[in-house]
């Protein structure tokens, strides 16, 4: 405290000394409190100060001063740190800045004071608005790398659309669908996962194909639940995703978008994609036991032996081998021309040994454009750890265009598909 302030207080005390001992004591108590408060107010650091020695008639209190004798100061309110505009995949939050340290009169006199816990600053829930930012999208319950079992139960999640723009959007069409999938069973017309996505509409669930398809028509799936969004407003929908057992393992991207028009497919903001992992713990196993080293076109049949096994801990109700001839495809016109066959015909015959006799199996072009053998009727139930062996013989009546011949063996069990095993004997033409 500076000298001028102390002098003023001294004058006040001197002027009252003529009125008697009792009056002097009455003035001494508030003077000590004022001097103690002034000592705190005039210091620039946070060091604890002892009571001034200029008031010898006042003993230092050992209990917390009452509000009538000790002034208190209020800690400044914490100021939120500045935030940056969130991206569509994140939610803006504000972390409170630490409150500045301020000395208190009790600290200056050494009196104990109960610690005061500052009130927590709530997280920011209002989005940061920015012109031209459009609609931000957030997934909840579906994260990158999350496993989705082929043929398993439905995976539940929700998607929230938030208007982070400064203008209102009168029409927001919510769209959720999967990208093309390398683990798809079929490649024609495109590699699309088999399964469904359901959206909760009021008290009912609306189901639609899981894949986006080959055009922008998939956006129409959200047209009947289109909504408007004022700046800062949000809308959330619940979804369930289920994949069929025929999907192979792989990475499946699930995308959410906001569209203002189905006809022109105008997007509002950026779409958000979550890359999930498709798994299958119920796959059978196909093993080639015997295959020829060479293969020659002609009337002589060539035998192949295959085993279908169940490596899982659950029994298969129906397990069957699969056979594909990838070298003979629907688009290979030169194959038919060289063999002198009419359009649509194939120069191959496939037979399977069934209960001690040979049975001819029909062939057809599958959804990959390859010649597939229909093995219906060869199904077996397989216990966990069990297996079944099959013998096939293939006859190529005319030479193929090219210098290779391939056979791809696999298996299907309760619609789950085994990784294929391909053999390519030397082709003698």
The per-residue pLDDT for range 303-340, each reduced to its tens digit, is: 999 999 999 999 999 999 999 998 776 554 444 444 44
Q: Where are the beta strands (DSSP E) in 227-301?
A: 227-229, 234-243, 250-261, 266-267, 272-279, 285-290, 294-295
Q: Provide the pLDDT for residue 124.
A: 46
Q: H/E element holding 351?
A: strand 348-354
Whole-prediction pTM? 0.67
The tens-digit pLDDT sequence of the chain (429 residues) is 444 444 444 444 444 444 444 333 333 334 344 334 343 343 333 334 333 444 434 344 444 444 444 444 444 444 444 444 333 333 333 334 444 444 444 444 444 444 444 444 444 456 788 988 999 999 999 999 999 999 999 999 999 999 999 999 999 999 999 999 999 999 999 999 999 999 999 999 999 999 999 999 999 999 999 999 999 999 999 999 999 999 999 999 999 999 999 988 899 999 999 999 999 999 999 999 999 988 888 768 899 999 999 999 999 999 999 999 987 765 544 444 444 444 456 788 999 998 889 999 999 999 999 999 999 999 999 999 999 999 999 998 777 766 678 999 999 999 999 999 999 888 876
Alpha-carbon distances of 106 from 100, 115, 180, rounded to whole Å: 18, 12, 70
Q: Provide the pLDDT for residue 396.
A: 85
**Angle (CA) 12 16 19, round 5°:** 175
Which residues are CB-neighbours of 232 under 8 A, at least 6 positions away? 126, 127, 129, 162, 163, 164
Contact between 37 and 105 (Cβ < 8 Å): yes
């Amino acid at each position: 405290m500076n000298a001028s302030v102390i002098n003023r207080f001294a004058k006040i005390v001197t002027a009252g000394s003529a009125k008697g001992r009792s009056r002097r004591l009455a003035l001494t108590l508030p003077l000590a409190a004022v001097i103690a408060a002034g000592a705190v107010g005039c210091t620039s650091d946070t060091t604890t100060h002892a009571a001034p020695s200029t008031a010898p008639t006042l003993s230092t209190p050992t209990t917390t001063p009452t509000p009538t004798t000790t002034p208190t100061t209020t800690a400044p309110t914490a100021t939120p740190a500045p935030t940056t505009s969130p991206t569509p995949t994140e939610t803006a939050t504000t972390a409170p800045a630490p409150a500045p340290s301020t000395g208190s009169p009790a600290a200056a006199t050494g009196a104990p004071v109960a610690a005061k816990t500052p009130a927590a600053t709530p997280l920011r829930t209002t989005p940061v608005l920015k012109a031209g930012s459009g609609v931000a999208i957030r997934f909840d319950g579906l994260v990158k790398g999350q496993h989705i079992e082929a043929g398993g139960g439905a995976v539940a999640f929700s998607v929230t659309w938030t208007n982070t723009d400064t203008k209102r959007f009168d029409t927001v069409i919510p769209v959720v669908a999967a990208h093309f999938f390398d683990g798809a069973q079929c490649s024609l017309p495109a590699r699309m996962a088999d399964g469904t996505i359901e959206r909760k509409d009021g008290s009912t669930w609306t189901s639609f194909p899981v894949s986006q398809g080959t055009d922008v028509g998939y956006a129409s799936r959200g047209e009947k639940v289109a909504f408007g969004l004022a700046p800062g407003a949000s809308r959330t929908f619940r979804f369930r995703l289920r994949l069929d057992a025929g999907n192979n393992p792989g990475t499946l991207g699930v995308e959410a978008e906001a569209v203002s028009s189905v006809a022109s497919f105008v997007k509002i903001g950026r779409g958000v994609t979550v890359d999930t992992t498709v798994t299958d713990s119920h796959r059978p196993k196909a093993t080639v036991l015997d295959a020829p080293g060479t293969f020659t076109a002609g009337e002589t049949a060539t035998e192949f032996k295959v085993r279908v096994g169940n490596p899982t801990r659950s029994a298969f109700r129906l397990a069957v081998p699969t056979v594909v001839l990838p070298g003979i495809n629907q688009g290979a016109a030169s194959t038919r021309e060289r063999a002198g066959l009419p359009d649509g015909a194939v120069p191959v015959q496939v037979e399977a040994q069934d209960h001690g006799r040979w049975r001819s199996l029909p062939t057809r072009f599958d959804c990959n454009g390859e010649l597939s053998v229909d093995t219906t009727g060869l199904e077996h139930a397989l216990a966990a750890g069990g297996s079944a062996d099959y013998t096939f013989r293939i006859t190529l009546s005319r030479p193929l265009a090219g210098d290779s011949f391939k056979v791809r063996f696999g298996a299907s069990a309760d619609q789950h598909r085994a990784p294929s095993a391909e053999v390519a004997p030397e082709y003698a033409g």
